[in-house]
Structure 1
């Protein structure tokens, strides 16, 4: 989604942001407004408790604490952030485990007909693996959401051991998004006075070394500043640089065509950072639309084909909402009977015709009751 310019500056909190931007597709004139979604109204819940638009269907592909059908692998508890990777004629869906002990990440392998043909572990011995991000070189960055947590680079194919990446900083990590154009990785921090970071690898494709930077704002001008001590001790990374721009509970992160979208749960916003113009805008704010359908913003992903964003809720009425390029926000799906859970890990398969996500605690409200879903249907391509 190619934002060409940002305009109509306005003050929000302590910093200035732009409240609109235009695109090569229909233009964003303001933050997204409540309206009818491109797929129509949600239908009554199906047998899996999923309310979907007409023409879409769901299935459960894995359940926490149970053996994945057709494999010998027990699916992990508290499934969280996820992503899809091409695998020959099929694909792989990876999923984090947001457990304080026994965290890590697992993977489901699908064949060309979308049958699950394998399931396996790709990361062990870590804590509270919340979100993360896929890299262009087909690895999964699994992020620890704990104080002075690490980023781990993992192999979705299960062939190479995971590597700890301390150069990417030790803080309460949430999500990561790779920018292959500027060759940097954006990182969110899940605390109420969190920062927005980027990691500049010494060599693109190798995350063993590089420079962690933090976004600052002085007099309305944004800049990136080096973090002196990425280890974050004794001073937290977010408190080392003057004029660090603060964000209230950083969550999901997604990059597309010069824009890094990220969410903040403390104020229910979706931000759009224009990486070329070095400006920031609000793509969504629940205080700036009537009857906002999207609350408890969390994980985010996007469709390269249509430019649509899919934002999962941690709270609200447990929906994945769509934000379209023509500035409409609307429910895409809703879970029924999952009131003590949250929706996590939305990811489209490489063909863009299947959406994966999890209910982290399922209908039981327990981390051992997680459910991972697949939704199939006529996803739009433009």
Structure 2
């Protein structure tokens, strides 16, 4: 039986080489370097690549223009027109919670800002919790322990196949019924209280020198970045790793302590106190906020866990074995070898999850959390301006998701394999 070996050559063989001693035959094949493209070919190829995106873009623009003209004509026939001047009128309604000072005398534009900030706050906290849960669950799904691996897989399969609305309502009802009345609230250190009204925590109160404290925080962050870069250069040069977080934290505490003890800045604490059936002082987290954050965290945590598992499994098994052969523990192998390589696979689908997470905050309307969609719904009932308000909502989510996409693309560029 003949076996054939493809031999590379820089010349064109005239014929096939015949059998050689040993009963084997060689067939010489040639891989030629591609001939240089004719002049103008790159430009033509680029234009061909842009043709379909341009056609799709023109189609979308045409549909948008036709839709806008149709809406404008229908509004004109009804004696109405698109007008955003109502945004500067008094809103006249209250919201359940706000990150900034708000009263019903404020404008519709201001109450929309309140809703946007509430939405971003819930999304930011959920993003951190869901990412943490997903990382832990994803690593657990690749564990060699049968019980840990299957419990993590059960969590993922159960949570990501349940409706988000069902999860948030179930958690909200459980919190309302399971936590004690405000008069019998659970108390913790530093005046913290937990009841069916929410969680009350002590909050810092900045006196004079607030601008100086903000400037010190900015300088501290810049110093952290410079120190981390210096540590990396030292490690690359000597192979010795220095601590990063501990010196920076100590320096930050020393800086703030110096500003406060010198009298240049002042920070006090507001402790929550029970007054009647309400809590005064401190800062509060409502049950609506807690239920929304927990529901979206456990739901998207399962989704992210599946993504992390896929990224880990996409890493070559030889990387694990080589790290174990060098004496690295499983934790250090995962932290130093596997996860940095898995990030290249994890990052693109993770961006989709973050975009979905932001959009899914709209289910807060079901439990009374004052997110953007909630305040817009109330504003529509009062102003009868659904087109203008829904346009603003669409612009907000479009802008936020484009920013998320840009951030993911930047991370993907950073994590790419060098030379590709």
> More strand by proportion, 1 or 2?
1
Do Structure 1 and Structure 2 share a fold, with TM-score over 0.5? no
> More helix by proportion, 1 or 2?
2
TM range (shorter): under 0.3
TM, length-normalised to structure 1: 0.21
State which structure, 1 or 2, has the greater radius of gyration over its C-alpha atoms.
2
